[in-house]
Amino acid sequence: MLIRPKPFVNEFILGYIGRLTHVNLKNTCAETMRNLVSHFELDQEEVTSREHYYQAERYLRALALTSGRTLDEFIFYHSNLPARGLGRESAAAWLNWQMRRKWELGFSGRKPPYLCPECISQQVCDVGISFWHRYHQLDGIYWCPKHKIALLAIDDWFTRPALVPTTAFASLRTATKADDYDNYPVLQIFSEIMVGFLERSLYWSLDRIQECLRRQAISKGLLVENGDVPRVPDDSQFLVDLALSKFPAWWLNEVFDLRSATPSKGRSALNRVFSAEGRTSSASYALALSLLLSAHERDAVLK
């Protein structure tokens, strides 16, 4: 007999798996997921290749059935993948990676989950228990968009069998300064844009956004020839200098890894927001949009 609670509004998928594990008194999340897959008889299907990946796909389908939603709806409402422009094709690969990472103890690149103490109190008051909110796991979000306070992290969560949020084991992320959110108003704009990407993917209108960012950058001093920017050089300092004047340096370095010289990170990844040749992370676009556009212009381009 499996207990199958429905996910709460904006409950993060990994936290939901943790909660299912917790209420069913299982030892591991993988065990819970295997039981759920059996419950819906999804394991009757033959697996011929990519077994890990296929398993994650079945996990997602079982979770969608548990939540009473379609697979696409479940991903849309309970993950941050829409903000990254990723859909169901990428969701299984992402979940497979996340669950495998969790089991590899001491994996250094793993991101711990974050929580807001005020949200936890509110959730306990409203629904009787606490859960992981997906907004708090968005890239670059170090403060609760609702309560405007610093998020806490549970650093050793991978040693715990289930992911149930509690302030008892949580602490302030090393670099986070609690009052930076008030001191740097642009951080609040960045948060609003990131949360907005969950409702409406920026990748739907990327060409328009990139063109608008290029135009604004030129008007704010990005030097170009012939008045156009077909491509901003990877090493251009324009956006980094602008960002350093408006955002806390520790935050920029932590979120965008500015010291990195690899093409997918650092300055070159940031400069790709101007490029018509590809795309970069949604956090990079949120940074550029918050720096280069007024509220009115953002509303117009993100509509």
Q: Which of 34, 88, 147, 173 binds Zn ion (CB under 5 A)?
A: 147
- Write down the H helix ranges in 2-161: 13-23, 29-39, 51-67, 71-78, 88-103, 117-127
In the complex, minimum distance from the CB of residue 183 to Zn ion, in angstroms, rounded to a whole number? 19
Size of the site for Zn ion (CB under 5 A): 6
Q: CA-to-CA distance for 26 and 257, rounded, in angstroms?
A: 38
Contacting range for Zn ion; rule: CB under 5 A; set: 8-16, 137-145, 153-161, 191-199: 137-145
Q: Rounded to 5 degrees, what angle do the CA atoms 45, 51, 54 make?
A: 60
Closer to Zn ion by CB, 147 or 279: give it: 147
Q: Minimum distance from CB of 176 to Zn ion (Å)?
A: 14
Q: What six digits make up the tokens of 196?
A: 């907005």
**What is the residue whose two structure tokens read 């609702």?**
146
Amino acid at residue number 202: L
- In sequence order, the 6+-apart residues with CB closer than 8 A to the CB of 287 are 140, 190, 239, 243, 247, 256, 270, 273
Q: Look at residues 258, 243, 120 and name the one whose alpha carbon lies nearest to residue 190.
A: 243
Among 95, 119, 198, 242, the residue binding Zn ion under the rule CB under 5 A is 119
Q: In angstroms, rounded to a whole number, what is the distance separating the alpha carbons of residues 161 and 23?
A: 12
Residues 294 and 220 sit within 8 Å (Cβ to Cβ): no
* Sheet with 152-153: strands ordered across: 114-115, 152-153, 171-172
Part in contact with Zn ion (CB under 5 A); list of ranges 17-25, 142-150, 191-199, 208-216: 142-150
Q: Smaller CB distance to Zn ion: residue 146 or 208?
A: 146
Between residues 167 and 260, which has the closer beta carbon with respect to Zn ion? 167
Q: Which stretch binds Zn ion (CB under 5 A): 114-122, 194-202, 254-262, 293-301?
A: 114-122
Which residue, 28 or 122, is less far from Zn ion as judged by CB?
A: 122
Helix (H, G, I), strand (E, B) or coil at 150: strand
Q: Rounded to an integer, what distance in angstroms lies between the CA atom of residue 119 and that of residue 2?
A: 28
Return the residues of window 208-267 that contact Zn ion according to CB under 5 A: none
C-beta closer to Zn ion: residue 191 or 281:
191
> Is residue 115 at the binding interface for Zn ion, with CB under 5 A as the rule?
no
Applying CB under 5 A, which of residues 72, 73, 118, 126 lies at the interface with Zn ion? 118
Tell me the C-alpha distance between 80 and 95, whole Å. Answer: 12
Q: How many CA atoms lie within 13 A of 208 on its CB side?
A: 11
Least Cβ distance, residue 11 to Zn ion (angstroms): 14
- Asked if 146 interacts with Zn ion (CB under 5 A), we say yes
Contact 80, 138 (CB under 8 A): yes
Residue 138 binds Zn ion, judged by CB under 5 A = no
Question: Least distance (Å) from Zn ion to the CB of residue 121?
Answer: 9
Q: Which stretch binds Zn ion (CB under 5 A): 6-14, 17-25, 73-81, 111-119?
A: 111-119
Tell me whether residue 72 or residue 118 sits nearer to Zn ion (CB atom): 118
Residue 195 found at the interface with Zn ion (CB under 5 A): no
Q: What's the burial of 83, exposed, middle or buried (CB within 10 Å: 0-12/13-18/19+)? A: buried
Choose one: 102-110, 116-124, 162-170, 279-287; the region binding Zn ion (CB under 5 A).
116-124
Q: Does 154 bind Zn ion (CB under 5 A)?
A: no
Question: Which residues are near Zn ion by CB under 5 A?
Answer: 116, 118-119, 144, 146-147
